[in-house]
Amino acid sequence: MFVAAAAAFLLVIFITPAVAEWHGGKALVLYKRWCPSEDGWVQYSYKNSSFWREFRNELVEQGWTVDYARHVNASLLSNYDALFVLTPVKNIPDEEAQAIIDWVKSGGQLVITQDERKKAYANEITKEFGIEFGSYKLLSVINEFGYHPITKGLSEVNGTIGTIGLTAHEIKVSGSSKEIGGYEGLFVKYCLLAVNDTAEDGVVVAIGDEWMWSDLCFNLADNEELLDNILAYFWQTRSVPEYPTPLLPSLLTLGAVFLLLRRRTHPQFFPTFL
């Protein structure tokens, strides 16, 4: 009778969906501090600026714990599953670029963008993974997509509103990186979205603009959906289920009980020291 009750208990545990709670992990977003000094090497104050509230809120709504930093090192990065580097605007310190590269290779998930700035500073990181930002273009619209979980259901991503966000960096890929989105017009075609999902143990998503996630553009076209797809892809490929703390001890206890009962029934199958 006890065995039957224990078996029923285990069955309830494993068929109850509420037991495993999936989460998106921890994300770190780099930002620039405007006051009292311009500390940081990315374009905007993604932590505090009123133009980036939708972006900040969406990360949290999708189940991610989010922190912000102006600089990184190996020790800090080791605490995070994902890193957002939204458009570097100055030379990245060598030690920080190398820390990010090493972190990706060991399993980190990186989203990195580069917009119209004359020099593609992001290449200090992305070239290691076969992704290189090239010349800038006059349209930051992605209207052609390749097959990938990140592009699922997307028909257009648009970083243009009025005269704001009119330029973006095209992307060249090599090695294991691949183009998964770009602009195609009547006489022109170029890549604006690329991924390397075999960056050793990590993932790199590169986009030729970041303005599509500003509050001015966030709800245009499929801009929000692109961010959600990236987060879902990171979630799917890297996160693990978390079980309530009391569950593991309960399973271990029940396992021990079954072993003892089986020993009584079939003592010949167990060593004498059990």
Which of 184 and 38 is assigned the larger pLDDT?
184
> What value, to the nearest 5°, has the Cα angle with vertex 65 and ends 59 and 71?
90
> Does residue 182 have a pLDDT over 60?
yes
- For residue 162, what pLDDT is reported? 67
Give residue-wise pLDDT tens across range 102-131. Answer: 999 999 999 999 987 778 999 999 999 999
Local confidence band at 1 (pLDDT 50, 70, 90 cut-offs): low
Taking the C-alpha atoms of residue 158 and residue 22, their distance in angstroms, rounded to an integer, is 31
Give residue-wise pLDDT tens across range 204-225. Answer: 999 999 999 999 999 999 999 9
Is the separation of the CB atoms in 42 and 87 below 8 Å?
Answer: yes
- For residue 165, what pLDDT is reported? 66
Helix, strand and coil percent figures for the chain, each rounded to 5: 35, 25, 40
Local confidence band at 186 (pLDDT 50, 70, 90 cut-offs): confident
Taking the C-alpha atoms of residue 78 and residue 2, their distance in angstroms, rounded to an integer, is 46
Homologous superfamily in CATH for domain 22-238 = Class I glutamine amidotransferase (GATase) domain (3.40.50.880)
For the entire predicted model, the pTM comes to 0.80
- Cβ count within 10 A of residue 239: 15
Q: What 3 state SS string does 116-183 have?
A: CCCCCCCHHHHHHHCEEEEEEECCCEECEECCCHHHCCCCCEECCECCECCCEEEEEECCCCEEEEEE
Question: What DSSP character marks residue 244?
Answer: -
Mean pLDDT is highest, among 40-44, 99-103, 162-166, for 99-103
- For residue 138, what pLDDT is reported? 82
The token duo for 90 is 């100055």
Nearest to 208 by CA among 125, 97, 271, 132: 132
The structural domains of the chain, with segments of one domain joined by +, span: 2-15+250-269, 22-238
Give residue-wise pLDDT tens across range 236-256. Answer: 876 444 444 444 444 444 454
Q: List CB contacts of 109: < 8 A, sequence separation 6 or more.
A: 81, 82, 83, 202, 203, 205, 234, 237, 238
Question: What DSSP character marks residue 185?
Answer: -
Q: What percent of the chain has pLDDT over 90?
A: 65
